[in-house]
Each structure stands twice: as C-alpha cells, then as structure tokens.
Amino acid sequence: MAWVSLIAAGLFEMLGVTSINLIHKYRNAFSVFTMLIAFTGSFIFLSIAMEELSMGIAYSVWTGIGAAGGAIMGMLFYGEQVDMKRIFFISLIILSVMGLKFIS
C-alpha cells in the first residue's frame, strides 16, 4: 500500500507542477485551485507512504516521479524540446526510481 500511495503522491505532484504552468498561462482561479488540491494530495499521499517507507526512499521516488513526469508533460503538452539527451536522462531517473523500489 505504501508504494501505491507514493505513486499517487508523485502523480499529484505532476498535476501540481502542470497547474503552476497553467497559472502562468491563464491566470484563473481554477488553475490556482487545481494547484492547491494537487499539492495537498501530493503531501498527504507522501505522508501515508512514509509510514512504511524510509524518508530517503520515499522522498527520492517522489521527487523522481515529479521530475520525470513534469519533463514528460512539458514535452508532450507544452512544446518543450524533445531530444535524445533529454529522453536518456529522464530514462535514468525512471530507472533509478525502479531500482529504489527493488531494493526496498
């Protein structure tokens, strides 16, 4: 259950970061509300995950999901540059997260 909570925390983190981008783009209350809900959900699920997982593992995986997910969202939906170097390093983040799952 801790890993499911941690993945949910990472997905909420991605939504929160995406909402920040929408706030800069549209400056509306819906984007601000979405950001607040997303980051609140992210911290709640991270807290639940940390009841069973160590802080180092939980925080590393949470930030990895948020960083890789944010970069992927930027490339897919916001016109950020897509190149092999970027994909390679995002892949390293994802592989590192998977490695942390296997050792814990």
Question: Residue 29 has what pLDDT?
Answer: 96
CA angle 27, 6, 95 (to 5 degrees): 100
Give, to the nearest 10 degrees, the angle between helix 55-77 and helix 2-26.
40
- At position 55, the amino acid (one-letter code) is M
What is the chain's pLDDT, residue by residue, as a tens digit (104 residues)?
999 999 999 999 999 999 999 999 999 999 999 999 999 999 999 999 999 999 999 999 999 999 999 999 999 999 999 999 999 999 999 999 999 999 88
Question: Residue 14 has what pLDDT?
Answer: 96
Structural domain count, the chain: 1
Question: Residue 104 has what pLDDT?
Answer: 81
Q: Which domain holds residue 45?
A: 2-103
